[in-house]
Amino acid sequence: MAASWSERLIESLPVANASYHRLILAVGPARSGKTAALNELSAARGWPRINVNLRLAEPLIDLTQKLRAVRVAGLLEDLVRETPAEVVLLDNIEILFAEELSQDPLRLVQNLSRNQTIVVAWPGEFDGQSLTYAEPGHPEFRRYSTPEAVVARAVDTAPSGMSSAPEESE
């Protein structure tokens, strides 16, 4: 019997914790079970699950577009750092891809994962080499070759540890 997605994420912890970026990406399309897996981990392990869209939208709403782009990384870092847990679960990260914020979402979560293990529900695809968000031609499209993270896909039987430096192309 195949392990559940939350079990595979737990099995990924030793590899992630031994890496420079202690980052696990739970990659899958909408409705593939990412949120359910993170909720299960939160309930079973007591790890905080942060709804990034919800938690960032409120402090960003009253800022100008320019200030939003300047402040979003610090606000996200504050959200994660205020949780003293060994592992933090980030869900609903679509706001980080917003064109007007001018951010590199993978780099943001990699920076967060240098001192704390971060598990991110990544809405997109991973083909074994390239991590993507959105479809080519979409204004928020991102492609990263060999992301420096442990990747667990919705259809995988085992997580993939990637060690190459991330590259972004559009």
* Total-model pTM: 0.89
pLDDT confidence of 154, banded at 50, 70, 90?
Answer: confident
pLDDT confidence of 156, banded at 50, 70, 90?
Answer: low
Spatial CA neighbour of 95 closest among 117, 125, 75: 75
Structure tokens given for 43: 């309930």
Contact at 8 Å (CB) between 52 and 92? yes
Query: What residue type is 65 in one-letter code?
Result: Q
- Residue 3 is predicted with a pLDDT of 72
* Dist. CA 140–CA 59, nearest whole Å: 22
Query: Which CATH number is correct for 5-169, 1.10.260, 3.40.50, 2.60.40, 3.30.450?
Result: 3.40.50
Spatial CA neighbour of 161 closest among 29, 47, 57, 12: 12
CB neighbours of residue 122 within 10 Å = 26
In sequence order, what DSSP letters do the residues of 111-158 get, joined into one string? Answer: HHTTSSEEEEEEESEE-SSEEEES-TTSTT-EEEES-SSEEEETT-SS
Report domain extents, the chain: 5-169
List, for residues 24-62, the tens digit of each pLDDT value. 999 999 899 999 999 999 999 999 999 999 999 999 999
